[in-house]
Amino acid sequence: MGMGMGGGLHGVWEGRRAMSILETGARPTKQTLLRLGRALRPHRASIAGVLGFTVLGVLLGLVPPLLMRAIIDTAIAGHNLHLLWWLAAGLLGFPAAAAVNSVAQNYLNQVVAQALIHDLRTAMYEHGQKLGVSFYTKTPGGEIHSRLVNDLNAVQMVLRRTLTGLFVNVLTMSFTLGTMFIINWKLALAATLVLPAFALPVMSFGRRTYAAINLTQGAMSRLTAHLEETLTLSGIMVVKSFGTRLREARRFRDISGEVKTYSIRQNMVGQWLNMLVGMLSALGPAVLYGYGGYLVIDHKAALGTIVAFSTYLVQLYNPASSLAGSNTSLIGGLALFDRIFSFLDIPIDVPEPDKPASLPGVGGVTPLGLQFDGVRFGYKPGEEVLHGISFDARPAELTAIVGRSGAGKSTILSLGARFYDPDMGTVRLQGIPLARLSEETFRQAVSVVTQELFLFHTTLEDNIRYGRPEATEREVRAAVEAAQLQELVGAMPDGLHTVVGERGYRLSGGEKQRVAIARAILRNPSVLLLDEATSSLDSHAERLIQEALQRLFEGRTVVAIAHRLSTILRADQILVIEDGRLRERGRHTELLAQSGLYAQLFHEQFDPGLETVRTDAAAGA
């Protein structure tokens, strides 16, 4: 194995079906409700408006039954045609006013719901940005996206039903009951005997809904993750290359089957609830018309009162039914909020400092030194990967890191880029611990070009500008020339405005690397961390990249995992890493003279080719 093999960001492959870091236990309901209340607090004014329109809507809804009672018992019974027309007009006017009020109430309701969803979505995205690389090496991307899309869409449905539903239903029932008791307390008492039974569905179906939603959303997360793994460009290329289409289709069918099963189960919980509530709702009218009819026949109540009560009964039982449904939906909806809050509660393992320090200068014109002091690090507790690494990458010098695959080279680069913080020891930039620098300050000073070259599905120019979108066209052109990209730009159908495709798929490996170099040149960092992955490039591409790197190295501190002889030979110091330890350091000639590990690695990678050239030359002579 050569000294340049391996590298790239360290990934921890836990298996495609392994339990995700997001699969956490549910938090207590009370805590979830308290957090939901805090999330709604910024929208107090809109919520107050919703509640105000709600009260008005309930009061407007109480008037029509009283008008119907007056029409039957007063206007018709007294043959008062003038009063009849006025009361009939009221039956038209009050519902119209209630309809207008409902539009305003629903508008504000949507404003609050969408604002809360926006707040949660933004908070989740920003929290996701702050999470360390270790989180993304353990969590499928599709599951993360499912939290931000599927879960929030489901939350939106819950909020639409329950945000003001509880208040509306309780208020409607209270006002309606009060009016009914004022009109006729005996009828009111008979009509409300069945109301306590509506509490049974809340207790019985709430937990079932909670569990069903948890299972459904978990299956949806797995489905989304599978889609993103197998129906993106990178994934489908692997699937096609290994002929695993049928196997992946079977796996998708199995996961989709889980979604189907859990969705049916979730829906049927609601159907059984509706059936039970419907049966309970039928008891009230039976009691009212039976007892009320007796009172009318016995001349103890007027017919208009019974008609008014029948209308009020609808206004009473509909909210009671909705209250049971809303409470059950809310209890089930807590499962969604638990999933969202569990994501927001994932600790940030590379935190921002409370009081950031400042750097003496930022940019390529001010080279800064990078120091490792007794650094120890492991991706998992108890499994140390680096053992006491110490070195000083001096300003404006090239430090090359060499070693066999798995020696820890890329881990050193990742710590220098502050993708992780060391378990022990300190990494410093110009003498200041990285943990004391804000991310903005640090990223202005340090740029990283890794083996895993990622280009966005946008234009070539946008990809080059990514680290510095405000750069002028002249600066972009200069970066293109320095990265040896002129030929590529000239061959593109739209030049710099050509879309490069997903992950830059329209470009070759060497072209993508030069785009990454152009991006770093335009960024103009003080420190460059570089993983030179050129083993798969042809000689022409490698020559172009060597010329681009010469421009990139000028005037800045460079720490590079060395893959090519030219970088090794001109390095100001070479660090030889073995099993996470710094075994040797020095210049090329010094290390060769020691005949140690470096000399062994160098001869393994480069000498066989040199010997072949000498043998062929001798045979030709």
Cβ–Cβ < 8 Å for 386, 375? yes
Question: How far apart are alpha carbons 63 and 94 in whole angstroms?
Answer: 7
pLDDT band with cut points at 50, 70 and 90 for residue 197? low
Residue 445 belongs to some domain of the structure? yes
**Maximum pairwise Cα distance, the chain:** 133
Average the pLDDT over 232-254 and give the result. 73
pLDDT score recorded for residue 393: 94
Q: Please state the three-class secondary structure of 373-405 as a single string.
A: EEEEECCECCECCEEEEEEEECCCCEEEEECCC
Are 288 and 251 within one domain? Answer: yes
Residue 129 C-alpha from the chain's centroid: 9
Question: How far apart are alpha carbons 462 and 450 in whole angstroms?
Answer: 19
| CA angle in degrees (0–180, nearest 5) for 334-170-208 | 30
Q: Return the number of other C-beta atoms located less than 10 Å from residue 57's C-beta.
A: 20
Residue 15 belongs to some domain of the structure? no
pLDDT band with cut points at 50, 70 and 90 for residue 242? low
Whose structure tokens read 């060499």?
402
What is the domain range of residue 582?
370-616
Whose structure tokens read 């000639």?
589
Residue 18 belongs to some domain of the structure? no
Report helix, strand or coil for 432.
strand
Question: How far apart are alpha carbons 175 and 6 in whole angstroms?
Answer: 73
Cβ–Cβ < 8 Å for 457, 450? no
pLDDT band with cut points at 50, 70 and 90 for residue 591? very high
Residue 586 is inside which H or E element, if any? Answer: strand 581-586
pLDDT score recorded for residue 5: 36
Residue 573 is inside which H or E element, if any? Answer: strand 573-578
Residue 530 is inside which H or E element, if any? Answer: strand 527-531
Report helix, strand or coil for 50.
helix
Contacts of 534 (CB under 8 A, 6+ apart): 510, 513, 541, 542, 545, 563, 564
Identify which of 167-181, 220-234, 402-416, 530-544 has the greatest average pLDDT. 402-416
pLDDT score recorded for residue 11: 34
Are 340 and 374 within one domain? Answer: no
Please, what sign has the CA dihedral across residues 563, 569, 571, 575?
A: positive
Sheet (strand 370-377) strand order: 386-393, 370-377, 424-429, 432-433
Are 284 and 386 within one domain? Answer: no
Domain limit, last residue, from 327, 344, 361? 344
CA-derived radius of gyration, the chain: 36
Q: Return the number of other C-beta atoms located less than 10 Å from residue 493's C-beta.
A: 7
> 525-542, pLDDT tens digit by residue?
889 998 865 544 556 666
Question: How far apart are alpha carbons 377 and 380 in whole angstroms?
Answer: 9
Residue 81 belongs to some domain of the structure? yes
Structure token pair of residue 371: 């120091």
Q: What is the CATH number of the domain that holds 111?
A: 1.20.1560.10
pLDDT for 247 beyond 50: yes
Cβ–Cβ < 8 Å for 384, 580? yes
Question: How far apart are alpha carbons 557 and 369 in whole angstroms?
Answer: 7
- Partners of 449 in the beta sheet? 530
Are 407 and 287 within one domain? Answer: no
Q: Rounded to 5 degrees, what are φ and ψ at 45?
A: -65, -45
Are 155 and 246 within one domain? Answer: yes
Give CA separation, 395 vs 425, 447, 448, 558, 560, in Å.
21, 15, 16, 8, 14
Are 315 and 275 within one domain? Answer: yes
**What is the total count of domains within the chain?**
2
pLDDT band with cut points at 50, 70 and 90 for residue 8? very low
Structure token pair of residue 581: 């330890």
> 266-317, pLDDT tens digit by residue?
777 666 666 666 666 666 677 677 777 777 787 777 777 777 777 777 777 7
Are 410 and 339 within one domain? Answer: no
Mean pLDDT for the chain overall: 78
Question: How far apart are alpha carbons 102 and 96 in whole angstroms?
Answer: 10
Q: What percent of the chain has pLDDT over 90?
A: 15
Cβ–Cβ < 8 Å for 64, 96? no
The least confident of 36-45, 93-102, 153-162, 449-458 is 153-162
Q: What is the CATH number of the domain that holds 520?
A: 3.40.50.300
Are 269 and 391 within one domain? Answer: no
pLDDT score recorded for residue 169: 76
The least confident of 50-59, 200-209, 600-609 is 200-209
Residue 163 belongs to some domain of the structure? yes
Residue 283 is inside which H or E element, if any? Answer: helix 245-297
Whose structure tokens read 């329109």?
53
pLDDT band with cut points at 50, 70 and 90 for residue 361? low
Question: How far apart are alpha carbons 21 and 346 in whole angstroms?
Answer: 9
The least confident of 33-47, 285-299, 341-355, 460-474 is 285-299
Which tops the pLDDT comparison, 309 or 117? 117
Are 378 and 324 within one domain? Answer: no
What global pTM score does this model have? 0.71
pLDDT band with cut points at 50, 70 and 90 for residue 206? low
pLDDT for 347 beyond 70: yes
Cβ–Cβ < 8 Å for 390, 573? no
| DSSP string for residues in 327-344 | HHHHHHHHHHHHHHHHHH
| CA angle in degrees (0–180, nearest 5) for 521-527-528 | 55
Beta strands in 422-468 (DSSP E): 424-429, 432-433, 446-449
Report helix, strand or coil for 494.
coil
| CA angle in degrees (0–180, nearest 5) for 222-342-148 | 55
Residue 402 C-alpha from the chain's centroid: 37
Q: What b-and-e string marks burial along 566-584, b requiring 16 or more CB atoms within 10 Å of the CB?
A: ebbeebebbbbbbebebeb
Residue 67 belongs to some domain of the structure? yes
The angle, 0 to 180 degrees and rounded to 10, between the axes of the packed helices 303-344 and 81-130 is: 10
Average the pLDDT over 515-525 and give the result. 85
Q: Rounded to 5 degrees, what are φ and ψ at 546?
A: -60, -45
pLDDT for 323 beyond 70: no
Are 460 and 607 within one domain? Answer: yes
Whose structure tokens read 């539903």?
165
Are 481 and 575 within one domain? Answer: yes
Question: How far apart are alpha carbons 541 and 551 in whole angstroms?
Answer: 16
Residue 23 belongs to some domain of the structure? no
pLDDT for 320 beyond 60: yes
pLDDT band with cut points at 50, 70 and 90 for residue 155? confident
Residue 11 belongs to some domain of the structure? no
Are 398 and 478 within one domain? Answer: yes
Q: Return the number of other C-beta atoms located less than 10 Å from residue 443's C-beta.
A: 17
Cβ–Cβ < 8 Å for 427, 370? yes
Question: How far apart are alpha carbons 582 and 577 in whole angstroms?
Answer: 5
| CA angle in degrees (0–180, nearest 5) for 435-437-442 | 115
Identify which of 7-11, 181-185, 241-245, 382-386 has the greatest average pLDDT. 382-386
